[in-house]
Structure 1
Amino acid sequence: MTQEYPLQWPTSWPRTPRPAKSQFKTSLSAAIDNVLGSLRLFGADSGRKVEKVVVSSNVSLMDRNPKDSGVAVYFTWDGIATCIAVDRYLKLEENLQAIHHVIEAERTKLRHGGLNLVRASFRGYAALPSPLAFPDSPWEVLGIQPGVSREEIERAFREKAKSAHPDAGGDPDAMARLNDARAAALRGAA
């Protein structure tokens, strides 16, 4: 289960090395309201439920200005577990405001391009699971032992992908989990 605190950044999404100042002029509470309002309107526009919304960041009651201002908004739309994550700006409220604009862009796509265009976009967002979305180790997911060769990792991945891939009747979430496990295992391989 994705947590609000500390920040649960999607495992396959690279971090911004040097966040910049934005042109947004908004408070933290207004930015949160904007994101939640955009999600509500997006659900109404699409006729699909937006549920299980979690705003994950490093802001706590004791530290309202964390060094890491990244934010990830997790939610389910049209049955698709989704994450929109931004760490481009120096302040949390700026990153939240950017997420608000991303959601508004999806609403624009919905109005002008239709439901299938937005579903295609959201399949891309769905490829960004939280590190806690799949608590098993990559080794458990792949069914191999730590320390195996890169070739063994790839072999295990291909074998599991035969049944996990959506084109073979598998589940997109299972395939995303498998892709993340492969990437993590390869990073740890010699």
Structure 2
Amino acid sequence: MSDVDWPAGFDRTDPEQRDTNEQYRVSLHEAVDDLAAELDLLDVDDWRLETPMRHQSRNLNYPYANQSEPDDSSVVLRWSMDGEQFAVACDAYSRVRDNVRTVGLYVREKRKMEARPVTTGESEFANARLPSGEAEAIVTNRSAHEVLGVDRDATPAEIRRAFRERVKEAHPDHGGSEAELQNVREAREVLLDGE
């Protein structure tokens, strides 16, 4: 089991005060699936789910099934969106599944509020924005050429060929991740702008 990197300044729930939640009727996998769907609808650049459980090597945001419940059920979700870093965390419940589900419902509610045609001073996610300097960058800082592994003077045909190869490697079904796959797609768009 791994430790969760709890965001600085976020309040913690005393383990003795954590509730047993019987309200949610989803599995841990379903809770992560629902969270992933919400983040897709939000169109985040990249995201990472941290739990104290061991996570799958092919899909880093999913804990392995059939693990015993850890002593610490904390969950932290970090994501980047429009160049800013965000985090939300939950440790109110005694099971990881319930904390993941709560985070997913929070994101859903905020996303829906963000979509309302009401003008406010800031984004609905402003309270989840991490202060600069404390945010761990999630997106890559590599150039588009580095992401695709091509020279700066590569032809469009070479770029397309490199893209096809990198997509195979970066795809979650082949050991990559959604974040890596997205970086590869964005690199292609940058290098083949307008084609």
Letter in 2 for 1:133: E
Identify the residue that residue 21 of structure 1 maps to in structure 2: 20
Is 1:12 the equivalent of 2:15?
Answer: no
1:1-190 mapped onto 2 (5 Å cutoff): 5-17=2-14, 18-22=17-21, 23-43=23-43, 50-60=44-54, 64-114=68-118, 119=123, 121-127=124-130, 133=136
SS of 2:89 mapped into structure 1: strand
For residues 125 and 56 of structure 1, the distance between their equivalents in structure 2, rounded to whole angstroms, comes to: 16
For the structure 1 residues 115 and 37, does the alpha-carbon distance in structure 2 shift closer, same or farther, using more than 3 Å as the test?
Answer: farther
For residues 135 and 115 of structure 2, the distance between their equivalents in structure 1, rounded to whole angstroms, comes to: 34
Give aligned-pair identity as a percent: 19
Letter in 1 for 2:39: L
TM-score, structure 1 normalization:
0.57
Letter in 2 for 1:21: T
- Quote the offset at 1:34 in angstroms: 0.7
Identify the residue that residue 174 of structure 1 maps to in structure 2: none
1:102-137 CA-to-partner distances (Å, cap 9, x unmatched) read: 111112212224585662x32321137897839xxx
For residues 58 and 131 of structure 1, the distance between their equivalents in structure 2, rounded to whole angstroms, comes to: 21
- Quote the offset at 1:21 in angstroms: 1.5
TM-score, structure 2 normalization:
0.55
RMSD (Å), alpha carbons: 2.9
Structure 2: stretches of 5+ with no match in the other structure: 55-63, 138-195
CA contact (8 A) 1:28 1:93 kept: yes
Q: How many residues align?
A: 124
For residues 73 and 128 of structure 1, the distance between their equivalents in structure 2, rounded to whole angstroms, comes to: 15
Letter in 2 for 1:8: D
SS of 2:125 mapped into structure 1: helix
